[in-house]
């Protein structure tokens, strides 16, 4: 518990939720606890633990950093805001093909890349993950089906942390963005060999120029699951 600051009360939590139009479930997801825990805090039947209090105060601070009512900035700098129509939007940086070389240099030097453009996406809930948008170049993932993605679409990617890669990648409705040491790939991951830490990349366009290929995870910087698209 922070010295000199009164403990977070259930009344304070309830007031914060109501002001920012968060359900008990949504607040619980932000803090990383069950909805039942939030209910018990707000009813006064359970005190907030010191560990939970630290996270709650971080949530309070991130809303304050957003500078707007009904807005939240997560620890990765992604801003979530409710618009006048009641939609929840996340504002994320856009990484274009032209900017990738500079972005890669910053990753290699452990620097902080300054994105020149941000774009909004409608989302279902506030999330603590790291989100980046990518503008697609080419039709390798456009096989003509409803979940396929055409050239020049913009996609929203949620980063899969590196410590989860060895658990496998599962299915992705729209595919994966893979940032390698040389380029940006937009592919399906159709196989994973744990023994060699190698993935098999697949294109949805069945043109002969788009062949499957294997890629070592040692050559990969980041992987993002595509969760939204705009055209």
Res. 70: pLDDT tops 70: no
Res. 4: pLDDT tops 50: no
pTM, to two decimals:
0.72
The 3 state secondary structure assigned to the chain is: CCCCCCCCCHHHHHHHHHHCCCCHHHHHHHHCCCHHHHHHHHHCCCCCCHHHHHHHHHHHHHHHHHCCCCEEECCCCCEEEECCCCCEEEEEEEECCCCHHHHHHHHHCCCCCCCCCEEEEECCCCCCCCEEEEECCCCCCCCCCCCCCCCCCEEEEEECCHHHHHHCCCCCCCCEEEEECCCEEEEEEEEEECCCCEEEEECCCCCCCCCCEEEEHHHEEEEEEEEEEEC
Q: Delineate the domains of the chain, giving CATH numbers in brackets.
A: 10-73 (1.10.260.40), 92-230 (2.10.109.10)
Rounded mean pLDDT, 6-25: 82
* pLDDT per residue as tens digits for the range 80-121: 887 777 788 888 989 877 777 777 776 655 456 677 788 999
* pLDDT per residue as tens digits for the range 151-193: 999 999 999 999 999 999 988 999 999 999 888 899 999 999 9
Res. 21: pLDDT tops 60: yes
Res. 18: pLDDT tops 90: no
Which pLDDT score is estimated for 143? Answer: 94
């Amino acid at each position: 518990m922070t010295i000199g600051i009164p403990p977070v009360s259930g009344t304070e939590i309830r007031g914060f939720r109501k002001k920012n139009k968060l359900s008990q479930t949504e607040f619980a997801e932000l803090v990383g606890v069950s909805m039942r825990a939030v209910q018990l805090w707000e009813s006064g039947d359970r005190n907030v633990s010191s560990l939970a209090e630290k996270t709650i105060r971080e949530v309070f601070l991130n809303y304050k950093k957003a500078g707007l009512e009904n807005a939240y900035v997560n620890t990765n700098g992604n801003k979530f805001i409710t618009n006048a129509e009641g939609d929840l939007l996340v504002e994320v940086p856009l990484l274009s093909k032209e900017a990738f070389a500079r972005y890669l240099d910053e990753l290699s030097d452990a620097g902080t890349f300054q994105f020149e453009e941000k774009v909004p996406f409608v989302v279902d809930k506030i999330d603590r993950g790291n989100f980046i948008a990518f503008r697609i170049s080419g039709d390798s993932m456009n096989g003509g089906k409803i979940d396929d993605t055409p050239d020049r679409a913009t996609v929203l990617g949620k980063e899969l942390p590196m410590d989860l890669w060895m658990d496998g990648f599962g299915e992705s409705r729209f595919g994966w963005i893979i940032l390698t040491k040389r380029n940006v790939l937009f592919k399906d991951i159709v196989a994973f060999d744990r023994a060699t830490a190698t993935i098999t990349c697949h294109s949805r366009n069945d043109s002969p120029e788009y062949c499957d290929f294997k890629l070592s995870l040692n050559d990969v910087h980041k992987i993002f699951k595509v969760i939204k698209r705009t055209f």
